[in-house]
Structure 1
């Protein structure tokens, strides 16, 4: 009987980033391969970190995060990207990856983990609210320039 091997790793090499692109592209559909790599390299310089949950040797979910400090959260982790591969949704992978990020954030001395989710993503909101116990505490606004 084989054992099921799941683990989380930070993706730090271009080879790993390339492997992650098809999954990230399911969330960030506007990105093409070149824009993804260019933006990722710039974001890494600002503290962005990309973590992957592997099942065996296959990436099944990704979390792109950044450790930040501000007046209202103090030290916190912001989740910029959280996506589970479309063929692996509702298997608990997102929850496992978020628990890993919560533990990582605590180890970094963070007070909170924060994220934003598109207005239309009702299932994701239900997941964050009911399953992961996130608070809806503000609106996020933006203006195209």
Structure 2
């Protein structure tokens, strides 16, 4: 098993099948260009768990800083391949992200999750995350 940041085009492309299970609106034809644009403009990165030559879990992450809490690592996406759920891949990736955040000098790990993803929320709670804020949004177009 290997956990790493996807750097090469091939590594990024290999994440598509798993990430698209969480983000089905993303067209495969635009995936690499979208990830590269996010990397360049926001510092977004993909981290993945590969086992037996297959990507099993993927996280989309970025480091940022807020006035009230300092530097943090945000997990924007975290998904395990449907066939591989409850086999520990998501938990191992989460634990790796905690260590990665510490190594980057982050004071906090944050994650935004849709309100309907109750099973995911239980997982995050078991990992020590706490419900800290409400997230609001407004469509503009």
Q: Does the alignment reach a TM-score above 0.5?
A: yes
Could you list the runs of 4 or more consecutive aligned residues of structure 1 that deviate by over 6 angstroms after TM superposition? none
Number of the residue aligned with 2:59: 63
Aligned to 2:95: 99
User: Could you give the per-residue CA deviations for residues 92-145 of structure 1, whole angstroms, max 9, x where no partner exists?
Assistant: 11110010000010011110000011011010001111x101010101011000
Q: Please name the residue that 1:77 is paired with.
A: 73
Asked whether 1:121 is paired with 2:121, we answer no
User: C-alpha separation between the residues in 2 aligned to 1:104 and 1:39?
Assistant: 23
Q: How much is the aligned-residue C-alpha RMSD, in angstroms?
A: 1.0
TM-score with structure 1 setting the length: 0.92
The answer to whether residue 132 in structure 2 is matched with residue 137 in structure 1 is yes
Q: Distance in 1 between matches of 2:30 and 2:137?
A: 22
Report matched runs for 1:29-44 at 5 Å: 29-44=24-39
Distance 1:94 1:139 in 2: 24
Match of 1:87 among 83, 86, 90: 83
Distance across 2 between alignment mates of 1:34 and 1:94: 26
Gaps of at least 5 residues in structure 2 are none
Q: TM-score, normalised by structure 2?
A: 0.94
